[in-house]
Amino acid sequence: MKSSFHKSFLALTAASLFFAQMTPAARAAEQHGMMPNTQPSPRFQTAEAMQLANEEILIFSCGLPYKSLGSTINSDAYWYSLYNLGSLVMNSGMGVHMVNAPVGRQMAKMHADKFPQPQDFMMHKMKQFMMRTGLKQMPKNPHPVYLPFAAGNPQFTHSPNPFDFGTMRWDPAQFDQTLTPGAIGQTVTKQILWSEDFFSSHRGSLLGKDAFDGFRGGVLTALALNSLMTFKDELAFDGQRLGAVNPMTYEPQQGLRYFAHAVKPRLKQMMPGMPAMLSGFELVDKSSHLYDQASLLWASSEFYYYSDPTVKDSYDAIFGDESKGALFPQDPHMLSKGISAVILKNLMAMHQHPQHKVMVSRAEPGKKGQHVDTAELGMLAVALENTVRAFHNEPMIKKMAQNFLKQQADFIIKHLQQPDGSFANGYDLQGNKAALDNASLAAQANAIRVLALAYKTTQDNAYLSAASKGYQALKQQFWSDSTKLFKAQRNDRQHTTLTPGVVAATLGALRELALASDRLQADAVKHMTLFFNHTIKREDGQGLQLAEMGQTGEMIPEDEVEMAKMTLQMKKMMQMPQDKRMQMMMEMRDADEDGVPNPMFAGGMHGTAPVVRHSVTLKLQ
C-alpha cells in the first residue's frame, strides 16, 4: 500500500496547483481521466446522509467484538461518520448560520449592554469553549449551521485548504433550502452522539478528550440546543401559522401544535461574504411525516440522556453552573424532555390507528392517513427504544414509548411478516391488504430492527424469533454472493440502486441482531462488514463515500507551515511533461488504494467534500 505522508501530500498540493492553472474544460477532462466513475453527479441528501452517519458511529460504539470476529469495520465507520457531520455543519455553508440562533437573539435582548448583537454572544461562547478546553487557536473561517438545509451539491467552489474551512464551501445556488424535521433531527442526533464521544473523558480541569475535541463538542452541543429551541419556539404549526408550543401545558385535544414536514427560512444577504440573516419561516408542507417525528424524537431523547444530571458521567461537567466552569446551564435538559413529550402526544393524536395501534406514515390535522410504511416503522422504533433508555426516571414517558414500540412489533408479526419470513413493504389499513409487490431491502431491514429492539426492551423471545426468521429470508432473497451486498429490491437482477438511508437501516438491523443473539452474532457481523465494504467504500471507487481524509488513509498535512514548504516543492513538478505529471498524479490520488480518493481527486472543478452521495447504482453480475 502506498500510504506515506509525503506521497499523500504531494497529491493534494499537486492537484491544487495543477487544476488552478487549467481552463474549466481542461480541468474537467483531466479529472475524468484520473477518476472514471459511472455514478451520476453527486447530490448530498441531509436526512439520509446523517442517518447513515449516525449508524456508523453506533457501529463503532456499540461494543461488538469486531477484532475477535475478524472485522475492521469500526475504524472506517468512526471517521466516515465524523467527515460527513463536519463537512455539513462547519464547512459547507448549507444551512442557517448560528449567528441567527435563538439563544443569541434572546441574550441580545436580555443583556443588550453586554451583547449588543446576537453575534456578540456567539463569539462570547466561542471564547468560553476555547478557555474551558484549552484550545489556543480557533479553526479558520468555519460556517456553523444550526438548521441544515435538505440537500446540496458537495463539490467545492474553491481549491480547498484543509486549514481554512472557508475554502471548503459548497455552491449555494444548488442548495435546496427546505428545512425538514427529518434532516434536522438526524443532524442533531449526530451532533449529540459526537459531543458524547468528544466529552467522554476530560484532562483535569480542561474539558474534552483533547482541546480540539472539547471545542468541537461545545460547538456541536450549542448547535443542537439551538435547533431544538427553534422547534419549540418557532416551528410548531397550529393549522394556521407557525409559532411556539408550551410543553408544560400542551394537550393535542385542546389544539394541535405539531412539527410540519417542510418550511423554508426567510433569509437575506445583508453584506457580501457575511452570513445571511433570518427574518422568519414560511410553511411549505403542512403534513406530518412519521420519519420526521421519529428523527426529531431520536434527537430530543438523546439530548435528554446527554444532559441528564441524575446519571453520573463525564457529561455532568458540561451542564450546570456556568460560573463554576460548565459550558451550558441545566435548562436544555427540560427543553429536550418537553420536545419529546410533545412528539409522543402528537404521535398518538395524529399517527396512531385507533384499532391496530400501528403508526401511519402521513397525517394532517383532522385527516389521518391509511398507509403503513414498514421502513418508517424502523426509524420510529429506533427513537422509541432510545426514549425508553433515556427516560429511565420518567415513568409516564418511558411507558408510553415502550407501549408504542411493542404495538409496532406486534403489527409487523401479525400483518407484515410473510410465511417465508420476509416482510411486506407496507399495509393499506382501509383495504386491509399488505403491499407484497417486489419486496424492498428497506422494509426487510427496518422490520428486523423493530423486532430486535422490541426484544431488547421486553426480552420477549417471540420478537427475537421473528427477527431471526426475517434475517434468514433477508439472506436467501436479497444477498448477492457474487457482489457481496444486499439488493435494494428482491426482483433486482442486473443492477441495484442503494441510498444512504437503506444502507443505514441495513447496517442498523444487522448490528442490533448481532447484539441480541449470540447465535447470530458472527454471521451478522460478517454480512455487515461485507455490505459496508461493498456499498460505502468500494475498491472500484463506485461507493457512497465520495472522498476521505487523513485519518482513513489519505494523510493530509498536519499544519500550514508544512503545507507551505511542500507547495514550493510542487512547483518543480508542475514543470514536468504532462504525461509524466499525470502518471505521478494517478499514483497519488488514492494513497491507501481503497477506492475512496483524496477530496481533490473526487470530481468537480475543485474537488468534492468527504461525504456520501445520494445513491449508487451497482452491477449485480
Residue 13 to residues 1, 142, 564, 567, Cα–Cα distance (Å): 20, 22, 9, 6
Same domain, yes or no: 547 and 527: no
Averaged over 233-260, what is the pLDDT? Answer: 97
With helix as H, strand as E and coil as C, how does 316-382 read?
A: HHCECCHHHCCCECCHHHHHHHHHHHHHHHHHHHHHECCCCCCECCEEECCEECCEEEHHHHHHHHH
Percentage of residues in the chain with pLDDT exceeding 70?
A: 90
Contact in structure between 51 and 612 (CB atoms under 8 Å)? no
Please say if the pLDDT value at position 588 is more than 80: no
How many domains are there within the chain? Answer: 3
Q: What is the pLDDT of residues 550-561, one digit of tens each?
A: 888 776 666 777
- Among the candidates 301, 324, 351, a domain finishes at 351
For residue 368, the domain's CATH number is 1.50.10.10
For residues 115 and 215, state if they share a domain: yes
pLDDT surpasses 60 at 582: yes
Predicted confidence band of residue 26 (pLDDT cuts 50, 70, 90): very low
pLDDT of residue 28: 46
Same domain assignment for residues 227 and 335: yes
pLDDT of residue 420: 97
Q: What is the pLDDT of residue 571?
A: 66
**Other CB atoms closer than 10 Å to residue 32's CB: what's the count?**
11
Same domain assignment for residues 339 and 190: yes
Q: Which three cell numbers stand for residue 271?
A: 453584506
pLDDT at 37 (0 to 100): 58
Confidence of residue 4 (pLDDT cuts 50, 70, 90): very low
Q: What is the pLDDT of residue 162?
A: 86
Instruction: Give the per-residue pLDDT at 38.
Output: 60
How does pLDDT run across 458-482, given as a tens digit for each residue?
Answer: 999 999 999 999 999 999 999 999 9
Residues 31 and 158 in one domain: yes
Task: Assign 575 a pLDDT band (cuts: 50, 70, 90).
Answer: confident
Boundary (domain end) residue, out of 534, 561, 578? 534
Q: Which of the four pLDDT bands, split at 50, 70 and 90, describes residue 576?
A: confident
If asked whether residues 125 and 232 sit together in one domain, one would say yes
Residue 386 structural domain: 355-534
pLDDT at 237: 98
Do 7 and 76 fall within a single domain?
yes
Q: What is the mean pLDDT of residues 36-40?
A: 59
19, pLDDT greater than 60: no
CA distance 411 to 618: 34
pLDDT band at 40 (very low <50, low <70, confident <90, very high): low
pLDDT per position as a tens digit, 380-418 = 999 999 999 999 999 999 999 999 999 999 999 999 999
Tell me: do 165 and 268 sit in the same domain: no
Q: What is the pLDDT of residues 476-523, one digit of tens each?
A: 999 999 999 999 999 999 999 999 999 999 999 999 999 999 999 999
Percent of the chain with pLDDT over 90: 81
The answer, yes or no, to whether residue 12 has pLDDT greater than 60, is: no
Which of 322, 351, 380 terminates a domain? The answer is: 351
Q: Is 404 exposed, middle or buried (0-12, 13-18, 19+ CB in 10 A)?
A: buried
448 shares its domain with 336 = no
Query: Domain check: are 339 and 215 in the same one?
Result: yes
Do 547 and 430 share a structural domain? no
- What is the reported pLDDT for 6? 44
Using the predicted structure, report yes or no on whether residue 220 has a pLDDT greater than 70: yes
pLDDT at 39: 67
Give me the mean pLDDT over the 139-166 stretch.
95
The verdict on 333 and 375 lying in the same domain is: no
pLDDT score at 586 = 65
The grid coordinates of residue 563 equal 503545507
